[in-house]
Amino acid sequence: MNNHITDLTGQVFGRLTVKEFIRSKNGNAVWKCVCECGNEKEVLVQQLKRGYVKSCGCLAKENGNKYAKNNLHSDEVKKKALARKLEVDSVDGTMKSALTRKISSRNKSGIKGVRWNESRKKWEASITFQRKYHFIGRFVKKEDAIKARLEAEEKYFKPVIEKNKR
């Protein structure tokens, strides 16, 4: 260690305890520190003394998790986010994005709102509109279920889509 560098060995800065001098980088001392969590970190002396670095990064992670838990996941924030989404994406209580959404990868019929009921051995058609589930019916033929679903889309979705175009 150079004679002009103050020995910080053993000093504590936040969660960091200074272990040893590493090198001088552009006239700035770099120290190896050990965090309370056990991780090691190399830190410039100015960052330690000015309080810019207080841990290996675990403190920021903990604070971020606390912030997220208290702010991002609160019921109030969720309600505000839903209100914003409804304001932008809603027409008469119906989400425009839901009307044009792609088919789920879990869909086995290839048509939204049409599914095979294994216990009844029939095709079922349904539609959700303005957050209400509407059961259309059960059909022996898949084609009949698809036709019924498409008719329901015309009845429920088309007026909303047309209204949105204006």
pLDDT digits (tens, 9 = 90+) for 114-141: 999 999 999 999 998 887 899 999 999 9
Q: What are 12-46's pLDDT values in tens digits?
A: 999 999 999 998 877 788 999 999 999 999 999 99
Question: Which of 35, 28, 31 lies closest to 55 in space, CA to CA?
Answer: 35
CA distance 141 to 123: 7
Q: Which tokens in the block code for residue 115?
A: 């599914």
3-state secondary structure of 54: coil
Residue with the two structure tokens 């698809």: 146
* 60: β partners: none
**Which pTM value belongs to this model?**
0.46
Question: What is the full DSSP assignment across 48-64?
Answer: HHTTS--SSSHHHHHHH
